[in-house]
Chains A and B, each alone.
Chain A
Amino acid sequence: MKQKFNIITSTCIPLPLENVDTDQIIPARFLKATTREESFFGENLFRDWRYDKENQPKQDFVFNKPDFKEAPREGVHQILVAGKNFGSGSSREHAAWAIAGYGFRVVISSFFADIHKNNELNNFVLPVVVSEAFLAELFQSIAANPQMQVEVNVPEQKVTNLATGRSEHFELNGYKKYCLMNALDDIDFLLENTDKIEDWENVNK
C-alpha cells in the first residue's frame, strides 16, 4: 500500500535466523490468490512457523511469545529484525505483501536477497541494511528489553538503536527516497517517460 515515509520509531520483533527464504515467509499454497489483499497474506505470514497442523499457534515461535504477540500498530512491532540473507529464494512478491499485511513497515537485516528487497520497496516496506555488528547488538538489546525501540529516520537515512544510542547510515538512492517520502511508485515514473522508450525503440529496431 502506498504510504509516506518519514521517521518511524517502534519496538521490534526479532528473528535471529539466517537465510530466511520466501517459501517460509509465505508458503506456496497461499500463492493461489488472484487479488492483492494484504490482510490475507499478513494472516499467513510465516504460516508454518507460526501455526501447527491443527492451526494452533506454536508457542516457541517469536510471533506467539508474550512479549511479541501484540499486532503491529504505531510505535509497536512495526520493525522486523532478521538474520543475514533475508528473503532468499523465490521471487514471489506475496512475501512482501505478507510482511506489509502483518503491519511491518521496516525490515532490518545485515543482508537482503535482491529480488525480495525490490519487492519490499515496491510495497512501501523499507529494507534497512545494517552492519553485522549493529545487527548483533540490536538482537542483544531486544533480548535484554523487548520494549526497546529503534528509530528509522528516512530523510537522514539513519537508523538508531535507542537502547544503546548506536546509529548507522543506511543506503537508499535519491530517486527511491523521493518515491517513499511522497508515496509514488515506479509505474507513475515510467508512464511519464514513454517518449524516451519510443526513442530507444526507434534507434534499436
Chain B
Amino acid sequence: MNTLFDKIWDKHVVQNVPDGPTQLYIDRLYCHEVTSPQAFAGMRERGLKCFRPDHIYCMPDHNTPTHDQDKPIEDPIGRTQVETLAKNAKDFGLRHFGMGQKDNGIIHVVGPEKGLSLPGMTIVCGDSHTSTHGAVGAVAFGIGTSEVEMVLASQCILQQKPKSMRINIEGKLGKGVTAKDVALYLMSQLTTSGATGYFVEYAGQVVRDMTMEGRLTLCNLSIEMGARGGFVAPDEKTFEYIKGREYAPKGADWDKAVAYWKTLKSGDDAVFDKELTFQAADIEPRVTYGTNPGMGIGITERIPTIDTIPSAGVESYKKSLQYMGFEAGQSLLGTPVDYVFLGACTNGRIEDFRAFASIVKGRRKADHVIAWLVPGSWLVDAQIRQEGIDKILTEAGFEIRQPGCSACLAMNDDKIPAGKLSVSTSNRNFEGRQGPGARTVLASPLVAAAAAVTGVITDPRTLMN
C-alpha cells in the first residue's frame, strides 16, 4: 500500500477486469527485431493499425554485427529479421533507429540515454531486460510477443498486478565492488526465483549513492532473481541525468515534469509485501560458477559443496558443474580465461568502459585472451572517443567493436566456441547462452578487465591503487 509501485501502476489502470487481470495503459513500447515480427504479422492478419504509433520506438540490436555495420548483414536470416523490423516500422508509421545510424544501439541503453524512458512511465518491450529502464523511476517490464501485439493494437496490456518488494542495501560499497556485484550478490541470496511475482524497489544508502549507470545495471538484473521489474525512486541524480537529453521535456514542460517526478516516492507509511535489507560490507567482487546467475560466489570464496544444496536441486547442481567443468569446493581464482566480453544492456555504458580502462591502463591484454569490447550504443561509442578511453584501450592491445547485443546471447557472429571459458559482463550464464557449449562466468567490468590483462580469473582489487 502506498508504495511508489502502487502509485505508478494505479495511475495507469484503465480497468480491472472482474475476476481477472488489470488492463494497464502503456506509455512506451520498444520493439526489437527478434520478438516483434510475429506481433506485426498478427496485426496484419487482423487488419489492424497501431493504436498509438507515437508511443512506439523500434530498433534492431540482437542480430547486429559488431563490425562493418555499413555493409549488409552476412547471415541472410538475421538480415531478413532486421529488414523486417524496418519494413514493419515503415508500414505501421513507427519511429525506427536503424542499424549503423547514430541513434542505434541496444534498446535498453538507448531508451534512457535519449530521454525516451522517463520517471513515472509504464514501459514494456519483448525482452526480459526491459527492467533496466526502472532506473529512471519507471515501471518497466519484459513481455512476450503476444503481449507486444496487444500493445501495438491497443496501447494496453492485460496483467496481474505483481506484489511489491523493497530491497534496502545499506552502508558503503568497498573498493572494487560495483552495481554488478550488488546484483550478483542479491541473486545468490534470493536465487533466480526468489523475487518471482514481485516488482522490486531498490533503496538504501548504496542505491542513493549509486550513479545512474550503476542503477541501470542493478535494475537490468532484476529479472535474474525472477522479479518482473525493479526500479529506483527518482531523485536529483535522476533529473540531472535526464535533463537536456534529446527526447526529455524542455522549458516549461521540464519544470512541470520535475514537479511531478518529485512526488514519485513510496510514502513513509508504505507497506510492502516483502522487505529485505542487505549490508554493503558483505559484498565483494563476484563471479558465477554455474549455469544460472544465482550460482555465484565472492571472488575469494569457494564453490559450494554438494551437502549444502537442497535435495530437489542436486540434479541441476551436478549438471551445472559438469557443464562448467568445475569441482565443488574449488576456488575460481587463477582459472585460465579464453574470452572476455565487455558490453550488453547490463554493462555496455560509459561508466563500464571507464572502469575497464582504469584496470587495463598501463597494462597489456594477455596474449591468449580474445577480448570483445562492445559499446551499448553509438552514443556510448562517441563518449568513449571523446574521453580518450579508446586510446587507453588501444595502447593496451584492445579494439572497440560496433554497438549491439553481441556475445550476450550470440545471435550475431560473436559466438564463444564450445568449451571455451568466457568472463562476461553480460547477464546470463545459461548453458549455450554465448554459443553452443560455451562456458560463461558472469562478472563486473573490473573483474573482466583483470581477467583480460592477467589471462586468469583475478581479484581486481590486487590491480587497483
Contacts and interface: CB of A to CB of B under 8 A. Distances in A.
A114 B223 CA distance: 10
A176 interface: yes
A156 to B, nearest CB: 16
B144 A118 contact: yes
A10 B155 CA distance: 39
Contacts of B77: 32-33
A54 interface: no
A19 B192 contact: yes
Contacts of A77: none
Contact of A175 (B21, B418, B431): B21
A21 B144 contact: no
Nearest to A188: B46
B119 interface: no
B226 A193 contact: no
A197 interface: yes
B153 A28 contact: no
Given A17-B316, A196-B23, A27 B18 contact: no
Interface in A117-145: 118-119, 122-123, 132, 136
Interface stretch (B31-39, B169-177, B238-246, B349-357): B31-39
A111 B197 CA distance: 10
B411 A31 contact: yes
Contacts of B304: none
Given A175-B19, A197-B154, A21 B146 contact: no
Interface residues of B, number: 71
A151 interface: no
Interface in B306-333: 312-313, 315-316, 319
Nearest to A20: B316
Contact of A115 (B62, B228, B316): B228
Contacts of B15: 193, 196
B411 A28 contact: yes
A194 B19 contact: no
Contacts of A199: 14
A174 interface: yes
A27 to B, nearest CB: 6
A203 to B, nearest CB: 10
Contacts of B41: 34-36
B149 A174 contact: no
Given A190-B153, A194-B51, A174 B128 contact: no
Looking at A24, A187, A191, A196, the one whose CB has the most chain B CB atoms below 10 A away is A187
B81 interface: yes
A32 B82 CA distance: 9
Nearest to B316: A18
Given A17-B315, A91-B128, A189-B158, A174 B153 contact: no
B34 to A, nearest CB: 5
B336 interface: no
B315 A119 contact: no
A115 B146 contact: no
Contacts of B319: 17
Interface in A42-66: 48, 53
Interface residue range, chain A: 35 or more
B432 interface: yes
B38 A187 contact: no
A103 interface: no
B193 A85 contact: yes
Contacts of A115: 128, 142-144, 228
A16 interface: yes
B91 to A, nearest CB: 14
A96 to B, nearest CB: 7
A83 B223 CA distance: 19
Given A115-B228, A122-B146, A190 B158 contact: yes
Nearest to A122: B146
Interface string A75-90: 0000000011100111
B215 interface: no
B80 interface: yes
Contact of B431 (A18, A48, A174): A48
Contacts of A118: 143-144, 147, 159
Nearest to B155: A197
A200 B35 contact: no
Given A84-B312, A115-B143, A187-B46, A24 B431 contact: yes
Contact of A28 (B142, B144, B410): B410
Given A23-B430, A91-B128, A174-B19, A193 B14 contact: yes
20 contacts: A17-B319, A21-B292, A27-B436, A28-B411, A31-B34, A34-B37, A34-B38, A34-B41, A34-B80, A35-B37, A89-B430, A91-B126, A91-B143, A93-B144, A114-B162, A114-B197, A173-B19, A189-B158, A190-B153, A197-B156
Given A24-B430, A84-B193, 9 more contacts: A19-B193, A85-B193, A88-B226, A90-B127, A91-B127, A118-B143, A193-B23, A197-B14, A197-B25
